[in-house]
Amino acid sequence: MRGPTHGKIPAMDIARALFQVVIDLISLLFLLMCSRGKLAAETLFLRKQLAMYKERSIKPGRIDSATKLTLIGLSRFFNWKGALVVVQPKTLIRWHREGFRMFWRWKSRMGRPRIPEDLRSLIRQMARENPLWGEERIANELSVKLGIRVSPRTVRKYMPKEPSHGPRGDQRWATFLRNHAGAILACDFFVVVTVTFRILYVFVLLEHGSRRIIHVGVTAHPTAEWTLQQLRQTIPSDHKYRFLIHDRGRVYSRELDHSVENLGLRVLKTPYRSPQANSICERTIGTIRRECLDHMIPFTENHLRVILEEWVSYYNQKRPHSSLGPGVPEPTSCAPRSMQEKRHLLDEDKKVASRPVLNGLHHDYQLVPLAA
Report the alpha-carbon distance of residue 299 to residue 316 in Å, rounded.
Answer: 25
Provide the pLDDT for residue 172. Answer: 42
Residues 6+ apart with CB under 8 A from 171: 276, 279, 283
Specify the pTM: 0.59
Cβ–Cβ under 8 Å, residues 354 and 159: no
Cβ–Cβ under 8 Å, residues 163 and 179: no
Where along the chain do its domains lie? Answer: 12-107, 117-162+337-369, 175-324
Provide the pLDDT for residue 286. Answer: 94
Provide the pLDDT for residue 272. Answer: 87
Report the alpha-carbon distance of residue 351 to residue 129 in Å, rounded.
Answer: 18
Report the alpha-carbon distance of residue 261 to residue 269 in Å, rounded.
Answer: 13
Strands (E), the chain: 184-193, 199-207, 213-219, 243-246, 266-269, 350-357, 362-369
The CATH class for the domain spanning 175-324 reads: alpha beta
| β-pairing verdict for 199-207 and 184-193 | antiparallel
Provide the pLDDT for residue 171. Answer: 37
Nearest Cα residue to 319 out of 307, 305, 334, 339: 334
Spans of the chain below 50 pLDDT: 1-3, 5, 54-56, 165-173, 372
